[in-house]
Amino acid sequence: MLCERFSIDQRSNNVTLFGIIDELHMPRSAVTDAMAAGRPAAVQLQSVLLVQTERANMDVPEKGTVECRLFDATGAELGVSRLEVNLEQGHRVRSAFNINVLPITGEGTYTYRVFHVNDGAAQQVDELPLYVHFDTPPAS
């Protein structure tokens, strides 16, 4: 889930998400210059993408990489982040991808795709949409 921040209760190990983000509204003027120059606009977005990874077989310890890729509404890949995960002791682990800047290329549905990478092979395991809308200024 994409959210503004999260908290993990130390006693119960439960996670609470604050400010879940599934839609982003911004003025068109915030991205016009960059898009006119043919490059993504860098929009400040203090957020966290929280991913939980579990192993099915408790008898088989696992290690690997969680990879998160961002795609714009046209399907172009805008960025990738990776985190190492270690499931040698427990049966699940949570990975937090901190996102400070979101590249915007236009309006539409952006997609975060989550992959597990083992031995160089990436397998998509989840997908999260983010709707990007440009607000139209009120008529004068």
| Longest CA–CA separation in the chain, Å | 67
pLDDT in tens, 56-105: 788 887 888 999 999 999 999 999 999 998 888 888 888 899 999 999 99
Contact call for residues 104 and 79 (beta carbons, < 8 A)? no
On whether residue 42 sits in a domain, the answer given is yes
User: How is residue 9 annotated by DSSP?
Assistant: -
Q: Is the alpha carbon torsion for 77, 80, 85, 91 positive or negative?
A: negative
The answer to whether position 12 is within a domain reads no
Instruction: Look at 36 and 65; give whichever has higher pLDDT.
Output: 65
Q: Are 131 and 109 in contact (CB under 8 A)?
A: yes
Range of the domain at 91: 2-7+19-135
CATH for 54: 2.60.40.10
What mean pLDDT, rounded, does the chain reach? 89
Does 140 reside within a domain?
Answer: no
Q: Which tokens sit at 87? A: 């499931």
In this prediction the pTM is: 0.85
pLDDT average, residue stretch 10-37: 88
What confidence score (pLDDT) does residue 16 get?
Answer: 92
Q: Kindly state whether residue 39 falls inside one of the protein's structural domains.
A: yes
Averaged pLDDT for residues 40-57: 88
Tell me the average pLDDT across 18-45.
87
The whole-angstrom separation of Cα 74 and Cα 126 is 19
Q: What is the pLDDT at residue 140?
A: 62
Residue-wise DSSP of 53-121: EE-S-TTS-EEEEEEEEEE-TTS-EEEEEEEEEEESSSSEEEEEEEEEEEEE-SSEEEEEEEEEEETTE
Task: Write down the pLDDT at residue 70.
Answer: 96
Domains in the chain, number: 1
pLDDT level of residue 130 (50, 70, 90 thresholds)? very high
- 13 within a domain of the structure (yes/no): no
CA distance 107 to 45: 16
38 found inside a domain: yes
- Residue 36 domain-assigned? yes
Quick check: is 119 in a domain?
yes
